[in-house]
A and B are shown apart, each in its own frame.
Chain A
């Protein structure tokens, strides 16, 4: 999951298995959450988002779950592929309407052949 340490946490998953990446957010006022994927040397790409009035949202091969009680967000990737290898960031908007999005530290997803 997300870490405040200096080193990115790494999740290693066998190709074809499902991946679950976790994120804890700190501000209960946050009402919008986004997952981004960042490949090496590139800018982050939007994967999926969810508002606080939902607890689950599905996209193509991805599902985001939101648990507001424990302030936890997760990204599930089904049937993980080599192209899913990247760093994944969760981000939160703190609902103060100044449009700043706060990013987590990221989790590196490593796909095992």
Chain B
């Protein structure tokens, strides 16, 4: 089955620790995205990548880092510099060029203890 997966579903982190969230897709999509969602809120764009080895900051990139070494994978690292990291993180992918909906993964809920 084609799809986009995120792991783990739940993640707990101590303050001051970096943590990496996984996102994998087998849809052959070129573009991938990371969003943050806080309770009762919409989606805010953290980083996005339109092609391998290239990525751009979104609206709230501070305290986060990404890599795009493979087309299928777009991991997100939440660094200790992110002051309020507890949130629901969503990964998405799409064909580039506009007029294409984004396909979302199931999300990872990160809680900082």
Q: How many residues of B contact A (CB 8 A)?
A: 27
Within 8 A of A (CB), among B9-52: 31, 35, 40-43, 45, 48, 50
Contact between chains at B94 and A99 (CB < 8 Å): yes
Pair B96/A43 contact, Cβ less than 8 Å: no
Determine if A113 is an interface residue (Cβ-Cβ < 8 Å): no
Which of B43, B99, B105 counts the most A-chain CB atoms under 10 A from its CB?
B43
Known: A42-B107, A43-B90. A101 touches B102 (CB 8 A): yes
- How many angstroms from the CA of A8 to the CA of B56 in the assembled complex? 29
B64 within 8 A of A: no
Chain B residues close to A by CB (< 8 Å): 6, 31, 35, 40-43, 45, 48, 50, 56, 58, 90, 92, 94, 96-99, 101-107, 109
Contact sample, A vs B, 23 pairs, CB 8 Å cutoff: A6-B40, A6-B41, A8-B40, A8-B41, A31-B98, A34-B101, A42-B106, A43-B90, A43-B92, A43-B104, A43-B105, A46-B101, A89-B43, A93-B98, A98-B56, A99-B31, A99-B48, A99-B94, A99-B97, A100-B58, A103-B42, A105-B42, A106-B41
